Chains A and B, each alone.
Chain A
Amino acid sequence: MKKILNKPENYVNEMLEGLYIAHPDLITYTNNDVRCLVTANKKEGKVGIATGGGSGHLPLFLGYVGKGMLDGCSVGDVFQSPSAEQMHAVTKYIDSGAGVLYIYGNYNGDIFNFDMAAEMADFEDGIRVESVVGADDVASAGPTDLGQKSTRRGVAGIVFVYKCAGAAADAMLSLDEVKRVAEKAAHNVRTMGVALTPCIVPRVGKPGFSLGEDEMEIGMGIHGETGIRRGKLESADQITVEMLDQIVSDLPFTTGDEVAVLVNGLGATPVDEQYIVVRKINEQLGKLGISVHRFYVGEYATSLEMAGLSISVMKLDAELKTYLDAPAQTPFFVQL
C-alpha cells in the first residue's frame, strides 16, 4: 500500500478535519461529531435534503452539501454505512419544518440505517422524512418493473439526482414536489463503469481483488463488485461504444432526446483520458440523433485510487433542464 496518510484508523476523521478547515463558508458539523456534516447556510422554510454513505468516494457523498444542492451528509468509515443515529442527528439539524428528503445509493447497509433514521426522526421528533434511492448502475442487475424495488447499485448518476432535487428544494418547493423531481431524475439516469486497477481500503492495506496488467473489467462497481465482463484492455473508442450501447438501450434513449452526460473518473484516471471519451460519446449520441445539453467531466464519484471511469446519461425534459441549470455552490461542485 502506497498512500499519503498518518494512521489508517484516522483516515476518515483527518480528511473531514481538512475539509472543515478549507470550506468554513460552506460546511460545518452538528452533534459534536465531525461525521455529521451539514450546510453552514441553512435556509429557513426549505425542505432539507440529506445523503450519506461510506467514505472513499469523494466528492461523493459529502462533497455536494452546500448552496443549491444538499443540506447534510452523514459520513461512514471507508465503504461502510454511517449509523442511523448520525443520520438522525443530521436530519434534526437540517429540518426547518418543511420536512427532509433522503437521497442515497441502493446498498443494504445504507437502506437499513436510513430507514431506521427516518423512524427515529418521526418517533422522537415528529419530522416527516421521505426517501429516494439512486439505482443507476445498468451493469449491476437487470431492469425492474415500475413499482418494484430496484436491485441495481447506486453510482455516479446520483449526482444528477442531487442537482435536480437540490435546485427544486432551493426554489422552495414542498417535500412531495422535491421528492417527485428527485424520483423523476433518478428514473431517467443510467450509468456504466469500467475499471482498470483495484482500490485499497486503508485499514485493509491490500487490494480486495486483482486485475492483470493488460486487463479491464466492464461494469465493475465502485467497491470492486463484479462487473459484466473481464477482458483485454481495448481502445478508448471501443470501450466507450460498448458502455454507451448498454446505457442507451436500457432506458432506452431515442432519437430526439436531449440529455446531460457525466463522465466520471474513478480516482486514478487522468482527466485527459476522460475527455478522449467525451469526444466519442458526442459522436455516438450524434449518430443516434440524441443531443447533449451539458457535459460534466472530472471526478464526481470515485473509488479511492481505482483507475477507470464511468459514463452517466440523464434524459432531460423542460423541468429537469431548469433544475440542472440552476446555480449551485458546494466544496466540489460550482455552477454559476
Chain B
Amino acid sequence: MIVQDFLASASALMTENRDRLIDMDSVVGDGDLGLTMSDGFKAAYESIKESDEQDVGKLFYTAGKAMSVAVPSTMGTLMASGLMQVGKTFKGRTEVQTTEYAALFQAYFDGVSARGKAKVGEKTFLDGLFPAISAMQEAIEAGMSAAQVAQAASDAAQKGFEATQGMIAVHGRAATRGEASRQLLDPGAAVAALLMKAFAQSVS
C-alpha cells in the first residue's frame, strides 16, 4: 500500500460525502461531522503528499498529527488517534505486506477505542471498522490478493455500518435518546465504511 494514495482517496471520498455526513449527523449530533471529516482527511493528506519520507509509521503519525491540529473536535481527534496509533505500530517500516493489512487497521481500531473508551456494539465508528478487520483477516488467510482483501474489508464495513440501525447508542448526544436511538444509522460507522472504501480504491 502507499500511504499517500490511501489518504488521497479518503480525502476525496469524505469531501464527496460531506453533505450526506452533515445530514446524518444533524439528526443526532451537532451536524459538523461532514465538515470535520472532509477538512480533517484533507489536512492529513496534504501534510504528507509532498513528503519523501519512506517510513510508513512516520507518514501515518505526521498525517494524524496534522488532522488533530486541523479538526480538534471529538470525531476529528478520534480519527487522528487512529492514524497516530498506526504510526506508532509501524514506525521504522518502509513497506506493508498484504498479510499485514488487518494488523494495520487493528492498530487504527486500538487508537480510536483507547481514546474514545468505546466498545464494539455501542453504535460507533468501531462497528464499521471491526467487521472490516475480521473480513480482512479471513481474506488474508484464504490467500487472496491485496485488492481482494481490501474489497472484502470495504464490503464488510458497509454492512457493519448498515447494522448500526438497531443498536442502542451509548456515546455522544445520540445516547440521550435511549431506545429511540435504535432506528438511526450511526454517522461514525458511515465514516468507517468510507475509510475502507478509500482503502479498497487505493490498493486496486
Measured CB to CB, the residues of A under 8 A from B are 76, 80-86, 108-109, 112-113, 115-116, 119-120, 123
Contacts and interface: CB of A to CB of B under 8 A. Distances in A.
Interface string B59-79: 000000100110011100110
A84 B88 contact: no
A109 B73 contact: yes
A79 to B, nearest CB: 11
B80 interface: yes
Given A112-B115, A116-B80, A123-B88, A85 B69 contact: yes
A76 B68 CA distance: 13
B88 A112 contact: no
B72 A83 contact: yes
Interface string B71-103: 011100110110010001000000000000000
Nearest to A109: B74
Contacts of B115: 112, 115-116
Nearest to B66: A85
Given A83-B69, A116-B84, 20 more contacts: A76-B72, A80-B72, A81-B72, A82-B72, A83-B68, A84-B68, A84-B69, A84-B77, A85-B65, A108-B74, A109-B72, A109-B73, A112-B78, A112-B81, A112-B115, A113-B68, A113-B77, A115-B115, A116-B80, A120-B65
A81 B116 CA distance: 15
B69 to A, nearest CB: 5
Contacts of B73: 80-81, 109
6 contacts: A83-B72, A84-B69, A112-B78, A112-B116, A113-B68, A116-B84
Contacts, number: 44
A86 to B, nearest CB: 8
Nearest to A77: B72
Contacts of A113: 68, 72, 77
Contacts of A82: 72
Contacts of B65: 85, 120
B69 A109 contact: no
Contacts of A115: 115
Interface string B160-172: 0000000000001
A272 to B, nearest CB: 36
Contacts of B72: 76, 80-84, 109, 113
Nearest to B68: A84
Contacts of B69: 83-86
Contacts of A85: 65, 68-69
B191 to A, nearest CB: 16
Nearest to A84: B68
- The residue in A82, A115, A116, A120 that gathers the most chain B C-beta atoms within 10 A of its C-beta is A116
A86 B69 CA distance: 8
Pick the 6 closest A-B CB pairs, nearest first. Answer: A112-B77, A83-B72, A85-B69, A84-B68, A83-B69, A108-B74
